[in-house]
Amino acid sequence: MSGKIDVKSRPLRAGSLLGCLLLATALPTLAEEAEDYIEVLPGTLPVILTAPHGGDQKPASILARRYGVVAQDQHTAELTRMIVEEMEELYGGRPHAVICRLHRSKLDCNRELDEAAQGDAVAMAAWTRFHAAAAKMGEQIRETHGAGLTLDIHGHRHEAARVELGYLVKGTQLNVSNEVLNATPELWKQSSVRELDQRSPQSWAELIRGPQSLGALLERHGFNSVPSPQQPQPGQEAYYSGAYGIAAHGSREGGTISAIQVECPWRGVRDERQNRRRFAKALALSLGEYFRAHFGMTLGQSRASEASSR
């Protein structure tokens, strides 16, 4: 594939063999070009952070997407880096992270390839790098820790300033009692935490909105969240249940890496630097208890606690 290589910027004598050889060695391949657009931060903890919509780069060489959502999730790239820092501070190890630096008008890594890149060869290579990196991290976590969690970090502008946690279960499907939720196995089977539901000692309803659900833990650290014990159902308000990222890097289709989409509101979370820092700390703290409760792991010493619990 040679579609997007910009030959004009590198003068070469047409027809010369030397020129062709130089062309082959001097021009970046698509994969190399795509490297600049996807930030890959390998980690040691059983957590993968993905940030598909925080990028702001709009290179003229990449075609603008012609359909789909093109708005950036502002400050989510920076927020993701802060979560890495806060987890390292707390647990002495880093989560893995993959951050798309391209603006969403050029590439949407939270969609299937066709809609994501809309035929642009470099955007396609960047999408491939993003998802191959996350998949490889999942593989490493499986080998080292046995199981883990992907958090897909986003930002929303819905009226209600609450963190929306998505599990690939629609808002209307969550607008039922815990009894109904627990009696509907199709729901956990379609979810991005399918394997974690089997692993966790808690019920399906408890996993997603009980006292040790991610929503409950974030609320305890000061951030309104849905679903949670306080707000078990999204109700009639807008709610994002997740998309391609957590379907690709969660456990719906198998494996031991589960995934949650974390949609951060603007007000109180993404709007100011100090709020982003506060949220990053709260999420990092919440994950420690979440892993203890549902994975039976201590973050930072996962292997030790796994071995002792056998």
In whole angstroms, the minimum distance from the beta carbon of 65 to Zn ion comes to: 14
Nearer to Zn ion, 154 or 294 (CB): 154
Nearer to Zn ion, 213 or 261 (CB): 261
Which residues, 6 or more positions from 242, have their beta carbon under 8 angstroms from its beta carbon?
A: 152, 166, 167, 168, 192, 259, 260, 261
Which residues, 6 or more positions from 40, have their beta carbon under 8 angstroms from its beta carbon?
A: 97, 98, 129, 133
- Cβ atoms of 169 and 189 within 8 Å: the answer is no
In whole angstroms, the minimum distance from the beta carbon of 50 to Zn ion comes to: 11
In whole angstroms, the minimum distance from the beta carbon of 143 to Zn ion comes to: 30
Tokens describing residue 245: 């990222």
In whole angstroms, the minimum distance from the beta carbon of 265 to Zn ion comes to: 12
Nearer to Zn ion, 53 or 106 (CB): 53
Residues that bind Zn ion (CB under 5 A): 53, 73, 154
User: Which residue lies nearest Zn ion, judged by its C-beta?
Assistant: 154
Report how far residue 53's alpha carbon sits from residue 99's, in angstroms, rounded to the nearest whole number.
Answer: 8
In whole angstroms, the minimum distance from the beta carbon of 242 to Zn ion comes to: 10
Task: Report the 10 Å Cβ neighbour count for 179.
Answer: 9
Task: Report the 10 Å Cβ neighbour count for 307.
Answer: 9
- Cβ atoms of 55 and 49 within 8 Å: the answer is no
Nearer to Zn ion, 73 or 306 (CB): 73
Nearer to Zn ion, 101 or 154 (CB): 154
In whole angstroms, the minimum distance from the beta carbon of 307 to Zn ion comes to: 38
Nearer to Zn ion, 23 or 160 (CB): 160
Cα dist. 210→165, 224, 233 in Å? 13, 14, 12
Tokens describing residue 129: 């790098």
What single letter denotes the amino acid at residue 71?
Answer: A
In whole angstroms, the minimum distance from the beta carbon of 156 to Zn ion comes to: 7
Residue corresponding to tokens 């046995």 = 146
Nearer to Zn ion, 5 or 79 (CB): 79
What single letter denotes the amino acid at residue 166?
Answer: G
In whole angstroms, the minimum distance from the beta carbon of 52 to Zn ion comes to: 7
Report how far residue 137's alpha carbon sits from residue 146's, in angstroms, rounded to the nearest whole number.
Answer: 12
Nearer to Zn ion, 246 or 297 (CB): 246
Q: Which strands, in side-by-side order, build the sheet including 47-51?
A: 38-41, 96-100, 47-51, 148-156, 257-265, 163-166, 225-226
